[in-house]
Structure 1
Amino acid sequence: MKERIERLKKLTYIPQNEIAWLIEQAELSVKQQEIIEENKRQQEVTVHQFRQAQKDIQHLSGDRKRYKQALEKIITNLNFAITVAQNELEGDVK
């Protein structure tokens, strides 16, 4: 392709078929640029979605930790209540 461009630069008259080729190459270049732009846009969207997912995971991890702590407190309180109830029952039986 470079050789063909260099040859065309040297010509004073450019034949119709060469002009058609130049137009075709220009159109191809425009299409390639559009594809590159679309790929960049999609990449930006993907990066944004990834970052949002990371934030969501961090948020959910924090929620999980808080729920786990609350559940542990409930279990501790229930165990205490069960122990008290058992002691009361044992006291009633004696």
Structure 2
Amino acid sequence: MKERIERLKKLTYIPQNEIAWLIEQAELSVKQQEIIEENKCQQDVTVHQFRQAQKDIQHLSGDRKRYKQALEKIITNLNFAIQVAQNELEGAAE
């Protein structure tokens, strides 16, 4: 391709078929640039979605930790309440 372009630069008259080739190459270049831009946009969207997913995971992990701690406190309180009730039942039975 470079050779063909260099040859065309040297010509004072450019044949019609060579002009058609140049136009074809220019159109191809424009299409390739559009594809590159579209791919870049899609990549940017994907990166944004990935980062958002990471934030969501961190948030959910924090929620999970808080829920687990709260559940552990409830279980501890229930165990204490059960123990108190058992002690009262044993005291009443004596």
**TM-score (norm. length: structure 2):** 0.97
Task: Provide the rounded CA distance (Å) in 2 between the counterparts of 1:86 and 1:11.
Answer: 106
**1:13-61 superposed Cα distances (whole Å, 9 cap, x missing partner):** 1111000000000000000000000011011101111111111111111
Question: Which residue of structure 1 lines up, in the alignment, with residue 33 of structure 2?
Answer: 33
Moved >3 Å (runs of 4+): none
Instruction: Give unmatched runs, 5+ long, in structure 1.
Output: none
The Cα of 1:4 is off from its aligned counterpart by 0.7
Q: RMSD of aligned C-alpha atoms?
A: 0.6
Number of equivalenced pairs: 94
What percentage of aligned pairs have identical amino acids? 94
The Cα of 1:91 is off from its aligned counterpart by 1.1
The Cα of 1:93 is off from its aligned counterpart by 1.5
The Cα of 1:62 is off from its aligned counterpart by 0.7
Task: Provide the rounded CA distance (Å) in 1 between the counterparts of 2:26 and 2:43.
Answer: 25
